[in-house]
Each structure stands twice: as C-alpha cells, then as structure tokens.
Amino acid sequence: MSATILDGREYATAIRQELTDLAIQRNAEVGYTITLAIVVVREPNAATVNASDIYTRQLQRTAQSIGIDCRIVDLPLTITLEEFRVALHDLNEDKQIHGIIVQLPLPPHIDREVLLDTIKPERDVDGVGSFNAGSLFLNLPARVSATCAAVMEVLDRAAIPLDGKRVIIVGASTIVGKPLMLMLLQRHATVSVCHIYTQDLSLFTQQADILIVAVGKPGLITSTMVRPGAVVIDVGINVLPDGTVVGDVDFTAVREIAGAITPVPGGVGPLTNLMVIRQTLTTLDNVVFL
C-alpha cells in the first residue's frame, strides 16, 4: 500500500494564516512593524543569481506576505570580520529588528563561529549561535534551527507520536542532525544519529519507526533500507543535472514501503522560512542574556 504523503504545502497554508494573525497582534503590541534583517555578503551588482539570492527573495516575500518587514543588508565580499561584527551590533541595537539571519556560505576569511555569536541570542532566529545551542542542550528555552523546527512541525501536524519511538537521523550536521537529535530527545524519542563513518547504514535505518534523512545525496535511502510502515522525513535538497529537485530518499520506491513520507519538493522545505518568521514574532520568555 502506498504511504500517506505528508504535504508540507498544506501545513504551510495553515501556519501562514496563524502567523499572519500573530503578526497583527505583535505589531500592535510593540507599536511598529516588526522587522527581520537578512544579511547577505555578495559581489556588488553581481550578474548571476545564486542559491542564497533565491532563498533571500523567498524569505523576504514570505515575511512581507505575513505582515512583517524585511531589511536586506548587503555587505561586500571584502568585508573584514570586525566590520561585519559592527554591522551585526548595529542590527542588535535597532529596536525594530526582532530577527537576524546571516546568509551562508561566508567568505573564507570570516570566522563563522565568532561572527554568528555576535548576534544577540534572542534575535538569532535560526539558532546558529552558541548561546542557543547550549540552551537547547540544557533543555532551556532556545531559538532553534528553522529546518529542525520545520521537521518537528511536520511530525506534530501529522500527529505522529514521538514518545518512546525509535528515531534514526541520517546526517549529523550542526544545523540539522545534531539539534534535531536534542529536540527529539526532549520529546522522549529514542534517537540514533548516523553519519558518513556509520558502518552498514541500512542496519540502523531498518530499525526506525521514524527515519529522518538530512545528507544531501540523492538516492541514498532505498526501499530495502526502510522498515515497512515507517515514517520517512526527507530533509535533503538536491538539484540534478537536468534541473529536477529531489531529496535523499528514493521517493518512488520508498513510498510503496513507508507508512508516511514527505515529498521533495513540498515536504519540509515550505515550512523552513515560516519557522524563521515564527521565531521573529515570538519572544523567549524568562531568559536573561548577560
């Protein structure tokens, strides 16, 4: 029997409406239009459009459609770390800015960790700084990776129970695999994380009640690697030479085995920007930043 398709676009429609209502309420509370800053490092007047430009435009459109402002901060490729940190300090001090996102990748001379830790933790709406990473580790209120929040949102909207479930995450990056492990542990799942050195990956994936894949390798997960009836969440985004976008899971074959599965595109992806906006609109209560 074919799996239930977990339709991220359908969930996104409902979340967009919820966030639009929240934006009206929050803008009225603060007395101005809440603003998300997107910091982009690029060649001035570059002729080509890259993935980061496309993401920036999508995020800007989403923010504006929900009723918050977006400020694009363009910085040159030659910017020094200190100049970059001053630009972030200015955004930290701007009362209208409630969220800051720095588009990656950064030029090689910029120390990513030092730079990202310049963002005030409450405004770190993609959970990239060490304060939020530490807070998540300690089960304290935290800004989290928007991609991980999107995965949790798909699981919750689909009413998939997590307590005591065996979750296998394939991919151990600091932006997806590792924070997701902590978020699922907080929800009482039993979590294993696989990575490039994992031997016999299928031994792990076949045990999963819930299999989450975030690697960036098309076709990595085949139907024989999935337990019948499992929930499969595909975070991967891969552009094939012919321009087709696919995930890390062989969707056509695995949907015949799985109980539920996210498509790519149209699964986790449509929710990621919305999670950035949600974290821009919400406050972290009871947290004192020193």
Binding site for ligand NAP (CB under 6 A): 147, 150, 170-173, 175-177, 194-198, 201, 214-217, 220, 235-238, 268-269, 272
Q: How far is CA 119 from the centre of its chain?
A: 17
CA 166 – CA 155 distance, rounded (Å)? 14
What is the rounded CA–CA span in Å between residue 235 and residue 150?
A: 10
Q: Which two tokens stand for residue 183?
A: 């978020």
Please, what is the minimum distance in Å from the beta carbon of residue 73 to ligand NAP? 22
What are 151's two structure tokens?
Answer: 């995965």
The one-letter amino acid code at 164 reads G
Q: Which is nearer to ligand NAP, 87 or 247 (CB)?
A: 247
Minimum distance of ligand NAP from residue 21's CB (angstroms) = 24
**Shortest approach of ligand NAP to residue 269 CB, angstroms?**
4
Query: In the complex, what is the shortest distance from the CB of residue 33 to ligand NAP, in angstroms, rounded to a whole number?
Result: 26
From the list 165, 150, 160, the residue with the least C-alpha distance to 269 is 150
Q: Which two tokens stand for residue 2?
A: 């074919």
Q: Which is nearer to ligand NAP, 188 or 195 (CB)?
A: 195
Give the residue with the Cβ less far from ligand NAP, 87 or 232: 232
Shortest spacing between CB 221 and ligand NAP, in angstroms? 9
- CA 198 vs CA 123, 169, 195, 237: distances in Å: 36, 12, 5, 21
CA atoms of 224 and 254, how far apart (whole Å): 8
Cβ proximity to ligand NAP, 27 vs 60, nearer residue? 60
Q: Report the residue number, 87 or 237, with the smaller CB distance to ligand NAP.
A: 237
